[in-house]
Amino acid sequence: MDNQKTITLTILPGDGIGSEVMDAALLVLDAISKKKGFNFDLKHELAGGVSIDKHNSPLTDSVLQTCYDSDAVLLGALGGPKWDDLPHDQKPEMGFLKLRKGLDLFANLRPAIPFDALLNASSLKKEVIKDTNIMIVRELAGGIYFGEPRSYGEEEAYNTLRYNRHEIERISKMAFELAKARSGKVTSVDKANVLESSQFWRDQVRKIHSQYSDIVLNDMLADNAAMQLVRDPRQFDVILTQNLFGDILSDITAMITGSLGMLPSASIGSKHAMYEPVHGTAPEIAGKNIANPIAMIASLSMMLEFTFKDTKTSQELDRSISQVLNEGMRTQDIAQAGDNVLKTQEMAQAIIDVFLSF
């Protein structure tokens, strides 16, 4: 990353604990800036329920333009029971879809790497999940979430699952490129046994695979993939899949790590990227300074790696998180008897202290 360049980031804390984990992450970002000499220009904006309250929109066009003009977007969490009764197309979560479409964020990357210090936190046996390192590559801009026509009526409702060749080609290339830097294996997940759209998916993925002779490609049905993830997660390296299946499978991999509060994610397009924790807004603990900021901080690490190509700083931040956990420091959600339980900002500071020591 060019230390002289001013890096513009749009900051969207969102709702619930989103603002708390974002504040913690910005402390870490400030430490990164001071240690590495980076110059971050932060644009603080509203999205989600707080934007509805002020602007009657989960994401205004002006905020979307700010995101469009930024080098990357950091997002906290959107939604909450306060806005549950709004019409579907006006809910805070629609801000996600507007961001994904507006910035053409076609790939969602969700790593699942259990921390050694938290192997006992998973509901799966420690010997099953140890040394798991999965990257789910989920197609994010197409499929059943966006397909037309769609309808909700008194007697029936329907959605359309549709993919075109271009959408599958670009997500496949990203998965194969990621695999080249990892263990060289891609598992493409579909339902080609019953869905024409999935057979088309499988055919197009195989065509792109012909350009990557050094990568091993396996096809797997979605239901089998769900079972295999909990039976033997170490068999997977990169999982490539469409929007709906990726949504489901990535939450299964979350349980390998033991807590949704630990998982970062990246939504990436050809020109733009957004980084966010996987967890929700957790309104029941909002305002108590007990939320786990690690997923938000780990999302900073993904930003450093994927947008700014600064693998060294990304690895230093990941090592800082691991060391803090190895030393028995925990937030309330992952704490067990004998752990040193920290508040949200205290956890951020502990990570900063280790990071600055490298």
Residue 43, beta-bridge partner list: 10
Instruction: Tell me if residue 304 falls in helix, strand or coil.
Output: helix
DSSP 202-223: HHHHHHHHTT-TTSEEEEEEHH
CA angle, corner 291, sides to 288 and 297, nearest 5? 140
Q: What are the CA-CA distances from residue 14 to residues 77, 78, 95 (Å)? A: 5, 5, 10
Q: Are 317 and 348 in contact (CB under 8 A)?
A: no
Place of tokens 């039976």: 231
**Residues identified as active-site:** 145, 191, 223, 247, 251
Nearest-angstrom CA–CA distance, 260 and 257: 8
CB 324 within 8 A of CB 350: yes
Return left, alpha or beta for 278; rule: phi > 0 is left, psi -120 to 50 is alpha, else beta: alpha
CB 56 within 8 A of CB 328: no
Structure tokens that stand for 67 in this block = 């995101």
